[in-house]
Structure 1
Amino acid sequence: MRVAPGGGTAVQDNVALAEIELCGELIIAASTAAGEERLSLESIDQVLRVGEERERGEEWAARGGSGAGSSSGSGESAGSGA
């Protein structure tokens, strides 16, 4: 667990900030969904840009990267088991 040091210096967790941004995008998409009770899985994937992350990972692996994942840390790790 990280604790911000004294003296007013803030510690930024970029992964947490990215997750907060994605949650905000999902909330906006859900609030503007036209006539839908819930967002479909396809709509959620589109908001989270899941396909784009996979394509970038595949392109990176094709260029000689190790593994097919991306290093951005956003999107697929949370809730992709459905």
Structure 2
Amino acid sequence: MRRVVPLRGGTVQDHVALAEIELCGDLIIAASAAEDRLSLESIDEVLRVAEARAEYSRE
């Protein structure tokens, strides 16, 4: 078994990667709860695309 030693002795947090992992988890949950394939509109809703677009346009 290979052991991975953390660099610098601490926890490294990549906030972008953590956000992507959370969105992937949300998609997995939505897909597992759906009876059929998720539509593009459903995927956009799960990923909160409309909210992100609105926030981006305010900047």
Q: TM-score, normalised by structure 1?
A: 0.60
CA distance in 2, matches of 1:43, 1:6: 42
RMSD, matched Cα = 1.2
Residue 23 of structure 1: aligned partner: 24
Runs of at least 5 residues in structure 1 that lack an aligned partner in the other structure = 61-82
Q: Note the alpha carbon deviations across 1:28-80, whole angstroms, 9 max, x for none.
A: 000111x31x11100000000001100111122xxxxxxxxxxxxxxxxxxxx
Aligned-pair identity (%): 65
CA distance in 1, matches of 2:55, 2:11: 32
Residue 7 of structure 2: aligned partner: 5
Instruction: Point out 4+ residue stretches in structure 1 off by more than 4 angstroms.
Output: none
Runs of at least 5 residues in structure 2 that lack an aligned partner in the other structure = 1-5
Residue 3 of structure 2: aligned partner: none
